[in-house]
Chain A
Amino acid sequence: QLVSALHNLTRHVVYRGLARAEDILCLFPENFHQNLKNLLTKIILENISAWRNEAQASQISLPRLVDMDWRVDIKTSSDSIARMAVPTCLLQLKIQEDAALCGNDPVVSALTVELSKETLDTMLEGLGRIRDQLSAVANK
């Protein structure tokens, strides 16, 4: 019962985003033990940003990118043509499934994608547009 009560208190503080001591203190009932109240408030305040970050990190989301690697290969020959020198990019994305669904053991899958130079140029155009849109939003 005690643990459950503490849990509810901390969840409430994190949910509301209470950041000041006064806000937390006034959650306690009138006749609560003074020193205990101050101690609990102090501990909660210390941990609050860590808890908020963790809640944010584990909120439901689409699968998340956790890592990314790339390499550039030169294709020299194939069944359709004996000699060529075509550069191509292999991109490996490590994607973690929704943390909320997997509990403590999130599944990380690796997806390898091949991009030709043309595809990469188009992708960079798209990413550049995203960056421009982001700065437009940030500057508003």
Chain B
Amino acid sequence: MGLLNFTREPVPEAVSGDMHNLNQLSAQQFSALTEVLFRFLTEPKEVERFLAQLSDFATMNKISLGPLKNIVKSILLVPNGALKRNLSSEQVRADFIALGLSEEKASYFAEQWKVNSPTLTRLAVGQTLMINQLIDMEWKFGVTAGSSELEKVGSIFLQLKLVIKKGSQLENVYVELTLPQFYSFLHEMERVKTSLESFS
């Protein structure tokens, strides 16, 4: 087996056996299975649904679930590696052929890959590490009427509550701003927006 695009590591032994089994499927069965796979890849949180659909496929096509799961595991190696390395659909097709999948099926899969890759790329970018990500912001503002020092005050304050994701926990940060601070904060944030837009 020549060099593969989607991985630098040796592929597990079972994979060529699994590809051979895949080749036995009809074009229609293969296309149905591919659809199930891509639906899972684009919505990775829907594990229950994915397993249910696999089980339906197994029953409908009279395949045992155990071997089917192994086949699926092997297939998924390619798109996962391809996503990490920004592979083109030709490279994905070439890899499947190198692994032993028939040309027809490899081309079909690569075509589906091309169609789905913008969604998949966006998902991968979304999973990228973010430090202290700002999740939510609430505010209230009001007037300070009086205090123990000053009987009548009448100054405006703005209170912000920032919800921040620190690791896996959410933390609330409360900050008070004076009016001039608020306006300069707003001004700075507008500058950030302009800067971000110029890089998009």
Contact = CB atoms under 8 A, between A and B. Distances in A.
Interface residues of A, number: 58
A55 B147 contact: yes
Given A87-B199, A121-B193, A55 B84 contact: no
A44 to B, nearest CB: 15
A134 B148 CA distance: 26
B199 A17 contact: no
B151 interface: yes
B193 A113 contact: no
A102 interface: no
Contacts of B137: 122-123, 126
Contacts of B185: 65, 68, 127
B196 A87 contact: yes
B56 interface: no
Contacts of A15: 149-151
B148 to A, nearest CB: 8
Interface string B171-200: 001111101011111101110110111011
Contacts of B134: 91, 113-115, 119, 123
A106 interface: no
Interface string A96-122: 000000000000000111111101111
Contacts of A86: 125, 128
Interface string B146-162: 01111111011111001
A128 to B, nearest CB: 8
Interface in B51-102: 83-86
Contacts of B11: none
B125 A81 contact: yes
Contact of A17 (B128, B151, B192, B193): B151
B33 interface: no
A13 B173 CA distance: 36
B119 interface: no
21 contacts: A14-B149, A56-B150, A61-B157, A63-B174, A64-B176, A64-B177, A80-B128, A81-B86, A81-B128, A82-B84, A84-B121, A87-B196, A88-B130, A89-B192, A90-B131, A93-B175, A95-B175, A114-B133, A117-B200, A123-B137, A126-B137
Given A63-B174, A65-B176, A131-B186, 8 more contacts: A59-B144, A63-B175, A64-B177, A65-B175, A65-B177, A120-B192, A123-B137, A127-B182
Top 6 closest pairs, chain A to chain B, by CB:
A55-B149, A87-B199, A81-B124, A78-B128, A62-B176, A80-B124
